[in-house]
Structure 1
Amino acid sequence: MKALVLAGGSGTRLRPITHTMAKQLVPVAGEPVLFHGLRALADAGVNEVGMVVGGTRAQIREAVGDGSRFGLRVTYLWQEEPLGLAHAVSIAGDFLGDDEFLMYLGDNLVLGGLRSMVDGYRAERPAARLLLAPVADPRRFGVAEVGDDGRVVGLQEKPAVPRSDLAVVGVYLFGPDIHKAIAEIEPSARGELEITDAIQWLIDRDLRVSADVLTGYWKDTGTVADVLEVNRHLLRSLVGSTEGATHDSEISGPVVIGAGADVTGSTVIGPSVIGPGAVVTGSRIGPFASIGEGCRISGSAIRDSIVMPRSSIAGVRGLESSLIGQDVEISRPTPDTGGHQLVLGDGSRVGLVS
């Protein structure tokens, strides 16, 4: 089976991180969220992927390559503007042909359910099959109304009065009829071709649209809070390993210390990840900390946070619930005047405790 992975979009809710980084490459538990999705696709029996990319295409291509490390063959598809999920399907027409395919939003994390969803689709061969998950506030999502026979009878996009609590997760399975539907629909009020409109077109013509209700974990990593939650969730199943070196340090709980990393005179509380080549001295790390490759951490305390590659943090205590980008430097001013010294770009967010 083919898959269409959407890896474009600007990630405005994750700025300033996404001013310079593709949102799908933000790391959780030590690796980009997109990689977790690609592995899930391979586990579900997908072998050929069309990767829809936009302005960050060079970063995505450098990170993913030809897909062979995931057991996939990846073809890159250029989307000039993000004009809706259905538009992404339309620009992938030559790649998809008349084949059945799975569409996966690359900034989502879905654990469990893809294999059973694919198997259910193959057994039934509907026009479309959706993955749904119950949510506390369905007004924030596309919502599906499901009949007693498991057939989807209607869709609502962020409804004021939802008809169910079943949100449409960022995973879809389609047969070739979806191309007819997309050719017939018009752009929505926001100027995009909505995949929900295309699916509703199928429903209105009495073509079967079925659904699976997810029993595993799902999260759209659209905000800093979402990214940190996913990081915590993945770290809870971490299996500790040590490839780097530790000296005069206390390691407790599941901790991964990457190759070439050095932890000296420090306490590391799991679950946490210290990336390859990172150097940690005189610090307290964790729990739920992901320290990226090549970072330098000294005299600091960091918990429930993600620090991306090559960043340096010195003399900073009480850093928590934070998402730190690549090549960032954070330190106490010298001499220490007791004040805060900040250099922040557009869209930055800082919480200070004084």
Structure 2
Amino acid sequence: MKALVLAGGRGTRLRPLTHTSAKQLVPVANKPVLYYGLEAIREAGITSVGIITGDTGHEVREAVGDGSRFGLEVTYIPQEAPLGLAHCVLIAREFLAGDPFVMYLGDNFLVGGISGLVSSFERGGYDAQILLTRVAEPQYYGVAEIGPGGEILRLQEKPEFPASDLAIVGVYTFSPAVHEAVAAIRPSARGELEITDAIQWLVEHGYQVHSHLVEGYWKDTGRLQDILECNRMVLERVEPDVAGTVDQMSEVTGRVVLERGAVVENSVLRGPIVVGADAKITSSYVGPFTSIGPRCVLRNAEIEYSIVLDDSRVEGVSRIAHSLIGRNVEVSRAAGVSNTHELMIGDHSKIQVKA
């Protein structure tokens, strides 16, 4: 069995971060989201992986390499434009050959892995199997209607009146029959070949299409609040590991990971927290559910429930929360007139300041 990992797309909901970085490489607990998916694929016993790349293909290649660090053999498949998930299957035909495969959206975060899905698919002898999860607001998702035996009856894309509360998760398993389906469908109104249309084609032509419910936690990490929630979920499970240096004036409590070379001086750290290698925290407070990337500097700052990416500096700023700060960013207190905000902000940014 093979895997097809989708690492293209433009990540418009995470701009401006994704103007310069692949959305699949945004870190959760200082590890890119994409890595969690690759690890889940390997844990399911799959080693041959094709990765679909787009505009950020060079960055994905640099981060993943040949896959050996994950125990995988990786083949890269460029997609010239985001023309739909079914189009990804279409252009991967040569790589997939006649093998069954898992299709995994690289920006999906799944606790519990996919071993259960893969085993169920192989035992059932299905032509396709879709991972589903129950959600509170199914009208915002692709939704599946299933029969009493778990068979897929119908798929709906963001329906006004959902037939169920079962949302489609971005992980699928397919037999080679899907190649006939993606060749038969036509682009949707938005100009894309939709994988839901291909699956519906399989259903209508008598193929065995089954469902599998998520065994753990799932999030699509396309939005800020989802990234922060995934970060929280991972940090809930970390074990304390202080490999860096903490001076006697500092207080470190709870589950705190301090990577090698990190330095904490005259500060308070309350876990769960991850602090990357060679970061420096001075006269600051770092609260729960915060990830500080490698080589970051925090000085006279307060931050919690946030993610700070590599090589950024936060100085003289109090009470940052619910924030995602990109790479090589400087956040500092404005000098001069009190109660004045001095901002240099890129396109498609979102900034909230106290009036």
Residue 146, structure 1, aligned to residue 146, structure 2? yes
Segments of 4+ moved more than 2 angstroms: 333-338
The 1-side partners of 2:84 and 2:311 are apart by 35
Deviation at 1:337, TM superposition (A): 3.4
Q: Is 328-337 or 264-273 further displaced after alignment?
A: 328-337
1:18 aligns to what?
18
Contact kept in structure 1, 2:40 and 2:113, CA below 8 Å: no
Where do 1:27-106 residues align within 5 Å? 27-106=27-106
Q: Does 1:2 align with 2:24?
A: no
Mapped partners of 2:69, 2:336: distance in 1 = 48
Residue 324 (structure 1) aligned with residue 338 (structure 2): no
What does residue 287 of structure 2 align with? 286
- 1:118-157 alignment runs, 5 A limit: 118-157=118-157
Letter in 2 for 1:305: S
Q: Distance in 1 between matches of 2:94 and 2:337?
A: 61
Kindly indicate whether the alpha-carbon contact (under 8 Å) linking 1:113 and 1:214 is maintained by their aligned counterparts in 2. Answer: no
Q: CA deviation at 1:335?
A: 4.2
Matched letter for residue 285 of structure 2? R
Tell me, in whole angstroms, the C-alpha distance in 2 between the residues paired with 1:295 and 1:113: 31
Equivalence for 1:300: 301
Pair 281,113 (structure 1): closer, same or farther in 2 beyond 3 Å:
closer
1:216 and 2:213 aligned: no
Aligned equivalents of 2:56 and 2:337: distance in 1? 40
Counterpart CA distance in 1 for 2:200 and 2:350 is: 39
Most deviating of 338-347 and 86-95: 338-347
Q: Name the count of aligned residue pairs.
A: 354
> Deviation at 1:125?
1.4
2:227 partner SS: helix
SS class of match (2:233): helix
**What code does the residue aligned with 2:243 have?**
E
CA deviation map 1:173-215 (0-9, x unaligned): 0000000001100000110000000001110011100111112
- Partners in 2 of 1:233 and 1:211 — Cα distance? 25
Structure 1: any 5+ residue segments left out of the alignment? none
| Residue pair 1:258, 1:277 contacting (<8 A) in 2 also | yes
Query: Counterpart of 2:167 in 1: which secondary structure?
Result: strand
Q: State the shift of 1:149 in Å.
A: 1.4
Measure, in 2, the Cα distance between the counterparts of 1:284 and 1:226.
24
Q: Which secondary structure does the structure 1 equivalent of 2:269 belong to? A: strand
* AA in 2 matched with 1:44: A
Which residue of structure 2 aligns with residue 187 of structure 1?
187
Q: For 1:331, give the aligned amino acid.
A: S
Corresponding position of 2:252: 251
2: distance between equivalents of 1:18 and 1:176? 34
TM-score w.r.t. the length of structure 1 is: 0.98
Q: Distance in 2 between matches of 1:33 and 1:323?
A: 14
Secondary structure of 1:187's match?
coil
Give 1:104 deviation, angstroms.
0.2
2:232 aligns to what? Answer: 232
Cα distance, 1:68 vs. partner?
A: 1.1
State the one-letter code of the partner of 1:150: G
* Conserved 8 A contact 2:52-2:78: yes
Give secondary structure in 2 for the equivalent of 1:130. Answer: strand
Distance 2:138 2:65 in 1: 37
How far residue 90 of structure 1 moved from its aligned partner, in angstroms, is 0.5
Q: Is this contact kept in 2: 1:144–1:154, CA < 8 A? A: yes
- Contact 2:9 2:82 (8 Å CA) reproduced: yes
Structure 1 Cα separation of the partners of residues 113 and 169 of structure 2: 11
| CA–CA distance in structure 2, aligned partners of residues 241 and 335 of structure 1 | 41
CA distance in 1: counterparts of 2:287 and 2:209, whole angstroms: 45
Whether the aligned pair in 1 keeps the contact of 2:41 and 2:114 (CA below 8 Å) is: yes
- Offset at residue 338 of structure 1 (A): 3.4
Q: For residue 44 of structure 1, report the CA deviation from its aligned partner.
A: 1.0
Q: For residue 133 of structure 1, give the secondary structure of its aligned residue in structure 2.
A: strand
* SS of structure 2 residue aligned to 1:40: helix
1:169 Cα deviation after fit = 0.4
Deviation at 1:110, TM superposition (A): 1.0
Q: 1:148 is aligned with what amino acid?
A: P
Q: CA offsets, 1:8-59, max 9 Å, x none?
A: 0000000011111100010111111111111111111111110000000011
Task: Name the stretch that deviates more: 169-178 or 121-130.
Answer: 121-130
Shift of 1:334: 3.1
Query: d(CA) in 1 for partners of 2:112 and 2:258?
Result: 27
TM-superposed CA distance for 1:250, in Å, is: 0.5
- Which residue number in structure 1 is paired with residue 354 of structure 2? 353
**2:91 partner amino acid:** I
